[in-house]
Structure 1
Amino acid sequence: MPRYYIDSSDGSFSHIDQDGVELTGDEAARYLALDALPDMVREVLPDGDQREFAVRVRDAGGRVIYSASLTLTGAWRDGGDEEDGRTSEL
């Protein structure tokens, strides 16, 4: 099976995968990279509401074959529903 390297960045810390993982092919590597993004967001939530998370997949030759990013933008809002403090619209 081919070896893939999944590099990641949370906007302030980057990790370059030195070990890699053997997967069945490019689609499996893409899935693994995309699956990592929500976990990355959960890990840094206490650090703030503005962050860009990114992953890239390299093949065994070091060529980047896939990349994806997820942007977190959060903000407190004034107002809301009078009954319970929540807004009724997104």
Structure 2
Amino acid sequence: MSDTDGIELESVEMARIEAQKALPDLARDALPDGNQKTFIVSVRDEAGQVVLRAALSLIVEVTPENRPA
């Protein structure tokens, strides 16, 4: 999913805070098919250069005693 509009923020620190807030919502809205998914938010400046990246990994593991035979 890509956001082509974006929002303007005052600083990289504000962008970090917004990226961290967005990651759980992305994970909740796009649960993975399978056992592992990494969600990444890239923050770009007005020139389009990435200035910050934040990632959240979602991993599902079944304990050995509960795996199908």
Q: TM-score, normalised by structure 2?
A: 0.76
Letter in 1 for 2:54: A
Larger Cα Rg: Structure 1 or Structure 2?
A: 1
SS of the residue 1:33 aligns to:
helix
Letter in 1 for 2:16: R
Give yes or no for the alignment of 1:74 onto 2:60: yes
SS of the residue 1:51 aligns to:
strand
Cα 1:57–1:46 change in 2 (3 A) is: closer
SS of the residue 1:32 aligns to:
helix
Counterpart Cα distance in 2 of 1:72 and 1:20: 25
- Tell me the residue number matched to 1:51: 37
Counterpart Cα distance in 2 of 1:45 and 1:18: 22
Counterpart Cα distance in 1 of 2:35 and 2:26: 13
Residue-pair matches, total: 66
Structure 1 unaligned residues grouped into runs of 5+: 1-13, 81-90
Give yes or no for the alignment of 1:36 onto 2:22: yes
Q: Point out 4+ residue stretches in structure 1 off by more than 3 angstroms.
A: none
Structure with the higher fraction of residues in helix conformation: 2
Cα 1:41–1:65 change in 2 (3 A) is: same
Structure with the higher fraction of residues in strand conformation: 1
Counterpart Cα distance in 2 of 1:23 and 1:44: 25
Structure 2 unaligned residues grouped into runs of 5+: none
